[in-house]
Chains A and B, each alone.
Chain A
Amino acid sequence: MLEFMDYIQHAFYSASHWNYENSYSQLTSTARALLDFETPRGLRLNVSSLSSPNFATSYALGSVGLVDGSLSYLYTSLPLHATSQSGKLNLHDVIRGYRQIQELRKPEESWMWEQWLGGKRVDQRDTLLYGRLYLPQSTLEALYLCRISPTQQVKLSAVSDSRLKNGGTILALHQYDVGKYSAETLYSTDGGLIGLRGLYNFGPDPRKEVPEPPRADDRPYGRFSAGAELYYGSLNKSGGVSFGGRYATLPAHKGIPLTATLTVNPLMGNLSTSYAVKAGKNLALCSKFDFNVYSYESDLMLGCELWRMKKRVEKKMERSMAAKLAWTVDEVKEPTTPEPEEVAGVLKARVDENWKIGILWEGRIKEMLFTLGSSIDMKRKDQPFRALGLELQYSS
């Protein structure tokens, strides 16, 4: 489940029309959400609030043997009108599951952002500032996010911690996204790491032509994307490179939605394939296979996600005053559209070839969101439960 501050950050992306998914680092987000989810450890409590459209606070208290916690504050210059009450949140927004990629949007022109007042430009760049202090470790996280133009974004994140080398690190990330392709440049002060990432989407260019309407036939309708990344640590003279490709169906696809990815690390000889399908309305399945051509090591992982829905509780219809006055009963109105069902909970499970099992149950009780999870190691018969955790979130 997304933390509240991450949820607000995503709300900022959508409010400023930034396509978060159109990046090489998000190429395997479906497989990550279904297979690499984190199981909580110990008890954790989050209390958060979007007190004004521009300001959010969050406090966390955790207990894994020791009691620790964090305070975080967020400011954004762009007013956010996202639902923040945990009782009313759409769980699809905070629980990462099968990621259905969307049709590419045409990026906004830069003149659309201009605001003029009395012959002067008065518009400002949308920014987001975020800080988080962990106690008692005294670790400070800071984030600065700025939309410098409709197609560009700059993200600066920093961590200050006395235990780190040089007292902390800063990561600068510049993102450029025109829909058809996106490119990212990053620099980390830790080891002087320089990185380049790029993603290219095959198919129609959203800037030139209107996306054709979805066809009615059964042919698969999807999009193929390919990308690469390159890193070089200028201080420790090390590097890394990888290529990747993804085929995913678009929402207009008539058949079963599917996502298939392949990533290759040519330096280390690592091949990783993943395949995910949304087998039903509430069920998604995923498998991942890793193979190393140099060491012949392989790994297989299977995972699934099951959404449990429940009928929305109908409001009790009181006899209206007009009906009482008329000495009649109210006319029974036939619901024209079926009420959308409410999410009762999500069950996620994964298993790998070493019989390590991770189970997560996420849902809502009353006004609280909860995450209950455990990781189990079946190889260790004496102590199969490696970790057990419960996370509670309340926000207003």
Chain B
Amino acid sequence: MAFNFNWSPLAADADFYSRAREMLTAALNKSPKPPIIVDDILVNELNLGSVPPDLEILEIGDLAEDRFRGIFKMCYAGDAFLTLKTRVQANPLNTYLFSKPSFTSPQPLAASSGLTIPLQITLSEIKLSAFIILVFSRQKGLTLVFRNDPLESLKVSSTFDSIPFVRDYLQKEIEAQLRTLMMDELPAIIHRLSLRLWCPEHKARVAEEKAHAAKLDEEVPVDPFASPPQDAVDARGNVLDASEISSLSLDRGSEIHSLFSQKNLLRLAALTDSHRTLSLFTPSIRDAVFRAWAGPSERSDTMGSSGPATPTLMRSHSSLGSTSTTYTFGKGSDDGHGQLTSRPSLVSLNSSTTGLSLGAGRHSRSHANRKKKTRVVNLRKKKTTDDMVSESADSETSSVMPASEPLYATSISEEPGDSIITPPRSPSGRVRFRTSSIDLGDSPRKLRLSNPGRPGMTSLTVPEQAILDPVPPIEQLDSRATAPISTNPHRSSHAPSQYAAEKSKSDIPHLEPAPMLSDPSVPGILEQAWVLKMAGEIARRAHDEKAVAEGFWQRDDRDDTPPPAYQQKA
């Protein structure tokens, strides 16, 4: 098998550079700039150079005529360069006073008078070294994500090279900026470029949206964010400040899901707590009908939901019509390549406590856990850089977290809705195949709804509907098949009680959350690798068989419209 990577045709396209410049300019000017930069940042020149990067194929997860998924190791030491133009404020006292309260300002008379200097920065000798996850599908375009910080070194030359202090400062600042650009913005830019190249429907949709937008401009829509909620929190219960709320807008559909009033969340939490205790106090919630738990039937419902059919896939429709796609990468990919950076789990502990304290019972708790578990790289939206950073930090630490991890094992999941077989699942079958756990399904799951037996609650906590997707069969096939291989005596006996433990928020120490693969009882790397390999084999075979047997692709072709989460905006 051979791959042919063409580097120069990219550059041969005359339109390519102007488009890329445009997108880079937009990306650079989007985030709030430090006060030292007083003008827009313009991308003056961009050249990808003639030296292609070295690519080493580490793994190919999926390969077909119209799709590809693989993990690469990339090294780049080419002659690409980038020239930026902007204007900077040269007076340090001026920028010093910029964000300071006027009450304690020293109020200089003229010492703070400004001097703006045009600045030209050239970035060259870029050295990159990164693990790349590349996912391509003709329908959804190209997705490229860096698993680690790709930037190794970089030469910054500017107008101020003669002043060492300024040069060092610029070098430091630009490296930091570029790292965020690489990790956050570049995947989005590449994705959008690829959509233009490969997806004719996308072009049509863009045109349509433009026409629609022009129409919308005439009839001004009512913006619910015109009067933002007073104490809004985000998905993890952190309080959003006013600027964050104001930066939300109607176009970013999925953000709305995570915006609840903290007051309401607290009230819901009190409501669910009142069920568990003998508390007589039930807070009243306006415009909501409240139905108490009738008896053990509901309880069994909640138990059942966490039983065999653990939903790993959830699709949430945006009520506003514009959806965005998030790609969820299982944390496990780290383990497979042995580059697991285990940081102290302060962050995740913290976030879990906020989730517990603020969350409305089970929903938000499972939600919080889930958040920790996955790394969500949102490729369609412009404004989630903060979230992504924090989530990636969480995801890397999540293996230390006890309880509930096996619940949310992400695994190979193909197109949504291709699950027919739901075999009875043995509790010991929670082996996850971390190497191949790229979740490409449409999964903008901000909300996790795991107990359908409580309609009152769901209508309260989840204003937008969430759909329960059954477990993709591959995972279950795998788990069944590999159940004998994984030898953990504790697992089968303790697994049910683990749910209970999780529910009662108590940590049982010997219930190591850690996945089987890193379990000390499984000896040796060789065995792990073998298990992995076997698992991969079985997974693929099972998948192929099923696809053949049930006409999976035909079925997929039948529904013409892509799943709703892929109807992205340009």
Residues of chain A at the chain B interface (Cβ within 8 Å)? 24-25, 27-28, 66, 139, 141, 143, 157-159, 161, 164, 169-171, 173, 186, 188, 190-191, 193, 195, 197, 229-231, 233, 236, 238-242, 244, 263-265, 267-270, 272, 290, 292, 294-295, 297
Contacts and interface: CB of A to CB of B under 8 A. Distances in A.
Interface stretch (B99-107, B432-440, B475-483): B99-107
A268 B242 CA distance: 36
A262 B110 CA distance: 10
A186 B106 contact: yes
A272 B113 contact: yes
A238 B90 CA distance: 11
A186 B92 CA distance: 18
A268 B106 contact: no
Contacts of B91: 240, 267-268
Contact of B109 (A25, A141, A164): A25
B111 A241 contact: yes
B99 to A, nearest CB: 8
Contact of B96 (A141, A191, A267, A268): A191
A297 B112 CA distance: 16
A28 B96 contact: no
Given A169-B100, A193-B106, A242 B115 contact: no
Nearest to A232: B93
B221 interface: no
Given A231-B93, A240-B92, A292 B115 contact: yes
Given A24-B109, A240-B108, 10 more contacts: A25-B109, A159-B104, A169-B100, A236-B96, A240-B112, A244-B110, A263-B113, A290-B113, A292-B115, A295-B117
Contacts of A264: 110
B238 to A, nearest CB: 14
Contacts of B92: 233, 236, 238-240
Nearest to A270: B113
A75 B413 CA distance: 70
B116 A193 contact: no
Nearest to B165: A237
A171 B108 contact: no
**Max chain A Cβ within 10 angstroms of own Cβ: one of B90, B92, B105, B113:** B113
A215 to B, nearest CB: 32
B113 A268 contact: yes
A267 B108 CA distance: 14
- Determine the main DSSP class of B at the interface with A: loop
Interface in B58-105: 90-93, 96, 100-101, 103-105
A64 to B, nearest CB: 12
B114 interface: yes
Given A229-B108, A268-B91, A161 B101 contact: yes
A358 B109 CA distance: 22
A143 B102 CA distance: 13
B100 A268 contact: no
B337 to A, nearest CB: 39
B215 to A, nearest CB: 20
A263 B115 contact: no
- Determine the main DSSP class of A at the interface with B: strand
Contacts of B110: 229, 242, 244, 263-265, 270, 272
Nearest to B112: A240
A268 B113 CA distance: 7
Interface in B479-495: none
Given A272-B113, A295-B116, A238 B107 contact: no
Given A236-B96, A244-B110, A264-B110, A270 B104 contact: no
A240 B109 CA distance: 11
B104 A233 contact: no
Contact of B115 (A28, A186, A191, A269): A269
Contact of B100 (A24, A190, A265): A190
B109 A263 contact: yes
A28 B112 CA distance: 14
B106 A188 contact: yes
Interface string B253-271: 0000000000000000000
A213 to B, nearest CB: 33
Contacts of A241: 111
A251 B289 CA distance: 77
The 3 closest A-B pairs by CB, nearest first: A238-B92, A240-B111, A242-B110
Interface in B111-131: 111-117
A28 B109 contact: yes
Nearest to B115: A268
Contacts of B90: 268
| Size class of the contact patch on chain B | 20 to 34
B467 to A, nearest CB: 37
B106 A195 contact: yes
A159 B115 CA distance: 29
Contacts of A195: 106, 108
A164 to B, nearest CB: 7
Nearest to A137: B242
Interface string B496-509: 00000000000000
Given A233-B92, A236-B96, A239-B93, A268 B104 contact: no
B96 A193 contact: yes
Nearest to A193: B106
Contact of A295 (B111, B115, B242): B115
24 contacts: A141-B103, A159-B101, A169-B101, A186-B106, A193-B96, A197-B109, A229-B109, A231-B108, A233-B92, A238-B92, A238-B96, A242-B111, A242-B113, A244-B109, A244-B110, A268-B90, A268-B114, A269-B115, A270-B110, A270-B115, A292-B115, A294-B117, A295-B115, A295-B117
A236 B92 CA distance: 9
B107 A265 contact: no
B116 A297 contact: yes
Contacts of B112: 240
Nearest to A227: B109
Given A238-B93, A239-B92, A239-B93, A265 B113 contact: yes
Contacts of B109: 24-25, 27-28, 197, 229, 242, 244, 263
A135 B81 CA distance: 50
Given A66-B242, A238-B92, A238-B96, A231 B101 contact: no
Nearest to A243: B110
B114 A231 contact: no
A19 B93 CA distance: 28
Contacts of B100: 169, 190
A265 B111 contact: yes
A169 B96 contact: no
**Max chain B Cβ within 10 angstroms of own Cβ: one of A66, A191, A236, A265:** A265
A233 B113 contact: no
A170 B104 contact: yes
B108 A242 contact: yes
A26 B108 CA distance: 10
Contacts of A188: 104, 106
Nearest to B100: A190
Interface string B305-319: 000000000000000
Contacts of B242: 66
A161 B100 CA distance: 11
A24 B242 CA distance: 39
B32 to A, nearest CB: 14
A264 B109 CA distance: 10
Nearest to B117: A295
A231 B104 contact: no
A158 B111 contact: no
Nearest to B226: A65
A231 B103 contact: no
Contacts of B114: 268, 270
B424 to A, nearest CB: 54
Contacts of B107: 25
B101 A164 contact: yes
Interface string B514-547: 0000000000000000000000000000000000
